[in-house]
Amino acid sequence: MPELPEVEVWRRALHGWMVGRRIVGVRVLAPTSVRARLGTRPVTPSAELLERVQGMEGGEVLATARHGKRLGVQVGEGWWLLHLGMSGRFERLSRDEPAPTHARVGWGLDDGQVVWFCDARRFGALVPLDSAAALREGLGPDALEPLDGESLAARFRGRRAVKVALMDQSCLAGLGNIHAAEALWRARVAPARRVSELSVAEWAWLAEAIPRQLRAAIDQMSEVDGFVYVTDGGEHVFAVYGREGLPCPRCGTPVARTVLGGRSTFWCPRCQPAEGG
């Protein structure tokens, strides 16, 4: 699913498109994309829930928010989670243009534009929230929030591989497979190292590397149309992810690949030694 950088770029796009605008119409093309609670299983919503969605009509979009991989929008007094699932994205078209492919929900705005939530794989959803604080429910701190090494280390316990642990959203929200691998490369920490084995210095390196990696990715995707997904054949901007056998951009050693927690993991055997530093 999209990681923190993709969600943050979409938040910025929605903020520019919608905040300060009034919603003049709501179109629900796929009712199962509206859900009473967060989940990836399509369920036919109740009539009351669909009425609540239609109740956004006439409301002003006041704010956007993000925590980890979750995206929220405030319409009037109410907050909504826009869960991207595996393939969720947004398109802005004039109200005279037809709905785009895979459009699920559309919001017509008072500037003549319609913002569409599109989702090819249907895992995404529009979910009502009690408040903006509900975006944080069940999650650790946002991975862009400043943490020192000691505070970061305190979030993790046990003997899990550090790469697997960093992807646990209840410990730290926002990292997925790609950016966990890239942050570990920046910090020179091997992904298979046990959490309990990391030194104070290594946690400090990680605390600095994680937000630096995420900020760099956000900058690379500063334009919505500039999203880079390796599987889409776009320009490859990663240091190690998806680069098995290619030279490490820092030392030239061939990048290695293994599987941790059921996910492909990439690292540089020389820059990220198994015994640590």
- Which residues, in sequence order, are CB contacts of 100 under 8 Å at separation 6+? 91, 93, 116, 118
For 1, 37, 45, 103, 231, the CA distances from 127, given in Å and listed in that order, are 17, 6, 11, 16, 29
Going by the DSSP 8-state scheme, the letter that residue 114 receives in this structure is: E
Q: Read off the tokens for 217.
A: 């990715």
Quick check: helix, strand or coil at residue 14? helix
Cα–Cα dist 122/32, whole Å: 9
Quick check: helix, strand or coil at residue 252? coil
Active site residue 2: yes
Cβ pair 12, 63 in contact under 8 A: no
Q: Which of 27, 263, 269, 273 is catalytic?
A: 263
Paired with 88 in beta bridges are 119
Q: Which of 11, 69, 122, 188 is catalytic?
A: 69
Active site residue 3: yes
Quick check: helix, strand or coil at residue 246? coil
Cβ pair 164, 202 in contact under 8 A: no
What is the CA 133 to chain-centroid distance, rounded?
17
Q: Read off the tokens for 64.
A: 């956007």
Q: Read off the tokens for 129.
A: 């929230």
Cα–Cα dist 219/177, whole Å: 19
| Catalytic residue list | 2-3, 69, 263
